[in-house]
Structure 1
Amino acid sequence: MTLLFSTWIKFFFLFAPFFVVSMFLALTRGQTRKECRRVANRAVFASLFTSLVLMFFGGALFSVLGITLDSFRIGAGILLFLSAVSLVRDGIRTHATGMPKEERDDVSVVPLAIPTIIGPATIGAILVYGAELTGWDLFTGILGMTLALACLLVLLHLSTFFEKLLGRTGLNILSKITGLILAAMAAQLVMSGIGGFLSGI
């Protein structure tokens, strides 16, 4: 139960939900509520499919490329830290608001699912978690990841409500807090990688 809760919390912040909500609002501006819900459903489903593939084939990928898990921990941690710094420093930028409608007809997979929800840093972290977890723990990790995406889906469906409640400033503040948490997760990944590397010497 502890692993499920911790995995759920990790993945929830890993998906940077408040940044995703803001991008979703910008990309779907002017669309009907039904269209927005369809975009949200497809984006989260595509993210879940991509995440499951990464979770199951991470270990095999390391073996094929000859990369140790500790090396990938360090690399993924650095990418995640850069992503966290970007969130804290730049906040939410929504240049997509002015895009013509014909260019925004189907934004569910690109750019909403990839790279907004599943970006390079997220991919690295998912590969690491997938390689770390085995047996029942892997199933628990997948369940936690699925719950995190389900929470993100709820947030996307309620995005208009949150925009009215919090405003752009409120979403920016929550995004920066998410960045701080991601920075701590990145530090943990890097330190775990360094510790594993040093223990093998």
Structure 2
Amino acid sequence: MDNLITFAITVFTGFFAITNPISNMTVFVSLTQGLDEKTKNIINKKANFIAFIIVTVFVLLGKFIFELFNISIPAFKITGGILIFFIGFEMLQSKKSNVKNIKHVDIDEDIAVSPLAIPILAGPGTIVTAMNFVANVSTIQIFLVIAIFGLMSILAYITFRLSDLIVKIVGNNVISVIGKIMGLIIAIIGTGMIINGIKLAFNLITA
């Protein structure tokens, strides 16, 4: 039971840092600027629902994907760790990650799908993090990861719904500081994945 609680806390922290609903809230505000509240809410619901489905599919099919492409767990952990560390490092430097950055957005397109659901909410970093959490774990832990990301989707929905009010009260400077803290956490998680992957590769710990 204690192991499950520790695992759940680790997963929640990882997802919260990588999805960073407070930082992504500013993206939502900029993309939906000028739209009425009803349209914003529809986009909000659709984006978070699609993101949840995408991550859930990768979580459930993670082991199958490993087998299909003959991907070893150590290689995945090391590569995923490097990617996640890179995202966190860019956030620490107050840069928008090239993995998640959207340079051009056509407002006429369905922004709920792209760029909000992909890659803002369910980008490569989020998918890699989710698949890393379910690599070589029990069925209970797999469904726990799905449930926690579902909770994150709800938190993101609430944050986006209150985005205008939050930005007005908190201010962009505080949001920027929170983004840096999340970047540090992401970089640490990435480093941990790399270390764990190296240990697995050289049989320093059991898989």
Instruction: Report the TM-score when normalising by structure 1.
Output: 0.89
Matches within 5 A, 1:63-74: 63-74=67-78
Aligned twin of 1:19: 23
1:68 to 1:154, Cα distance in 2 relative to 1, 3 A: same
Aligned twin of 1:35: 39
1:105 to 1:64, Cα distance in 2 relative to 1, 3 A: closer
1:25 to 1:157, Cα distance in 2 relative to 1, 3 A: same
Matched, 1:117 2:121: yes
Aligned twin of 2:151: 147
Runs (5+) with no aligned partner, structure 1: none
Matched, 1:5 2:9: yes
**Following TM superposition, where does structure 1 have runs of at least 4 consecutive aligned residues deviating by more than 6 angstroms?**
95-99
What is the deviation of 1:124? Answer: 1.6
Amino acid at match of 1:187: T
- For the aligned residues, what is the CA RMSD? 2.3
Q: d(CA) in 1 for partners of 2:184 and 2:190?
A: 10
Runs (5+) with no aligned partner, structure 2: none
Aligned twin of 1:50: 54
Asked if the contact 1:54/1:130 (under 8 Å) is kept, the reply is no
Identity %: 24
More helix by share: 1
Decide which moves more: 23-32 or 115-124. 115-124
Q: d(CA) in 2 for partners of 1:181 and 1:92?
A: 16
Instruction: Report the TM-score when normalising by structure 2.
Output: 0.87
